[in-house]
A and B are shown apart, each in its own frame.
Chain A
Amino acid sequence: MSTKVIDISINEVTKEFATGIFKKKMAVDKLTLDIPRGQIVGLLGANGSGKSTTIKMILGFLKPTHGQIFVCNQPAGTRQSRSLIGYLPENPRFQKFLRGEYILNYYGRLYGLGGKQLTQQTDHMLDLVGLKHARDERVGGYSKGMTQRLAIAQALMNKPKLLIFDEPMSGLDPLGRMEIRDLIRAIHDGMPETTIFFSTHILSDVEALCSSVALLKKGVLKTACEINQLMVQDGQFFSIVVTGLNQTLENKYRAEHGAATTSLGLSFNVESVDMLTARLSEISRAGGTIVSVNTQRRGLEEILFSDRKNVNFQFPQQAAGGA
């Protein structure tokens, strides 16, 4: 039996949106997901897969059509549950005339902070996100990266138990993305008990940051597991290069493993250790020479989207005789 403390519990949640008088669109379909405390969990999916809808239901902005969500054992959307959450929306925007420090004070006060505690927390957050130098500047003059960091700081003002980031790296340049990644890591290191739940469609961010991942596809949960587990289960394979095989065996490997001739010899991949052992002994028996055996790992993209249908994008044909 698991003894993990669950911070977000999503039970059979469905969300439908009315798109016409009699038309409805299913955004999230019977989603069940538990997010344990202290982890960085990535909610992965393409645009329109239901990531933001799920996050908005956790925050209480959207009411589930069916099912229930609990945040630290409190029903989602209640003031008690929101007092435990720090939220960074996708593309955060502030009133341009407000100054960085004022914004943190304002949001801190909305969390119920005041006096010395508020001043200290504001200073600490400005320091953490590297905006001390810009504390008195109007946010209208901030760059996108600075705005994003300020938005992260406002989410941290209440020292939350749960941090929810909606596409935190979206729209940032590579340097900005790296900064936000480092910041998320620093937050996790400094507040190890805080759960960080973020949505993204950028797989490298998930690989770099998350301990667990949940994949949504058209509102349906496809996978939810620890990344390491996913990598061991589905991500590992062995690459064999061999020479001196007889034609029968070569044809067999071409047919079964898609073997191809390379400059080093016949190269093919096998998925499991058992298969690797079987093939190696088979090659030895047949008098072949094993040039190399390498353990390989698939990228997360390859694993998660292995069932993706290929889409062939084609330019429209030019009309005959056209210029």
Chain B
Amino acid sequence: MNSLRIAWVAIQELLHEKVSYLLIGFALFSLAMSMVFGQMTYGEQAKLTLDFMLGATQLSMLLFSIFMGISLFQKELSMGSISMILSKPISRASFLLGKYLGQICMQFLITWMMGLMTCLFCLRFGSGSFSAAAVFQTVTLIAWEAAIITAVTYAFAVNSGAVVTSLGAASIFFIGHGRDTVSSNLKETSDLIVWNSAKTVLPDLEIFNMKALASYSQSIEWNEFFLASCYGTVCVAFYLSLAVLFFSRRDIAT
């Protein structure tokens, strides 16, 4: 229950945060630019516009998850208000979970809103081959990916400053999408052993990437979608557990 109370305050905090509106503004701007660039292309305009819009959604959610994660957590530390909360009989895990829940609620909401705008645009300007189910699946998986990156951000933020946290979380995002590329470029056995060990703790974010399919109006099977969501849950649980572990051990000197 304490986590839910903290989550509710975190949502209000996000609603009052200037950076939130900056990021939402960026999301809207990138959606608008996607429409413009999509229309400027030759042939397959609807598909490219849809692809751009989904790409814009993914990029916006990546930025939102990293920057709002840092802001929500580190602001509390720098303000010192964390000490008033943690002096109450609540665990550090509840605090962290509450902040996380608040943030991902907002992220899912924003992602779905962006998905809705994409659908509305496709209905108005697109060709008849547009699939609302595919767009829904794609944006929901983008939200799951953002949820994992948020958990990664928290795992870094509890121990590091803003720069290290943002670089760390962005690196995990890019490695998570480039696992196959890295694997195919490694020749040495020793490198492969190290990489395969590292892969066990690095999320495979390509599982959540179905933008290309959606732009061709193809959805995935719902059981596949469900499995991807389960994988997302496991990744979130893993990185949040790491965050809780680090946070429980650290000294809070503010």
Footprint of B on A, CB under 8 Å? 56, 59, 61-63, 79-80, 82-83, 85-87, 89-98, 106-107, 109-112, 151, 154
Contacts and interface: CB of A to CB of B under 8 A. Distances in A.
Contacts of B16: 95-97
Which of B12, B16, B83, B88 has most A Cβ within 10 Å?
A: B88
Contacts of A154: 84
A93 to B, nearest CB: 5
B252 A110 contact: no
A94 B83 CA distance: 11
A87 B12 contact: no
A63 B88 CA distance: 17
A72 to B, nearest CB: 13
Interface string B211-254: 00000000000000000000000000000000000000001110
15 contacts: A59-B86, A59-B87, A61-B251, A61-B252, A79-B90, A79-B91, A85-B87, A93-B79, A93-B81, A95-B9, A95-B16, A98-B12, A109-B2, A110-B88, A111-B88
B86 A151 contact: no
Contacts of A92: 80-81, 84
B253 A109 contact: no
A107 B84 contact: yes
B85 interface: yes
B251 A63 contact: yes
B84 A151 contact: yes
Contacts of B12: 95, 97-98
A164 to B, nearest CB: 8
A176 B79 CA distance: 22
Contacts of A83: 88-89
Contact of A94 (B81, B87, B88, B91): B81
Contact of A79 (B9, B89, B252, B253): B89
B13 A110 contact: no
Interface residues of B, number: 21
Given A63-B251, A93-B79, A82 B88 contact: yes
Contacts of A85: 87
Which of B9, B89, B91 has most A Cβ within 10 Å?
A: B89
B5 interface: yes
Contacts of B87: 59, 82, 85-87, 89
Given A56-B253, A59-B87, A61-B253, A93 B80 contact: yes
A110 B80 contact: no
A299 B249 CA distance: 43
B80 A91 contact: yes
B84 A111 contact: no
Contacts of B90: 79, 110
Nearest to A86: B87
A109 B91 CA distance: 14
Contact of A62 (B85, B89, B252): B252
Contact of A106 (B5, B79, B251): B5
A92 B76 CA distance: 12
A275 B108 CA distance: 82
A175 B91 CA distance: 37
Nearest to B15: A97
B8 to A, nearest CB: 9
Contact of A87 (B13, B83, B91, B252): B83
A106 B83 contact: no
Given A61-B252, A79-B91, A87-B87, A110 B81 contact: no
B79 to A, nearest CB: 5
Nearest to A108: B88
Contacts of A59: 83, 86-87
Interface string B70-108: 000000000111011111111100000000000000000
A90 B87 CA distance: 13
B5 to A, nearest CB: 6
B110 to A, nearest CB: 19
A95 B13 contact: yes
A115 B174 CA distance: 48
A89 B89 contact: no
A168 B144 CA distance: 45
Contacts of B88: 82-83, 107, 110-111
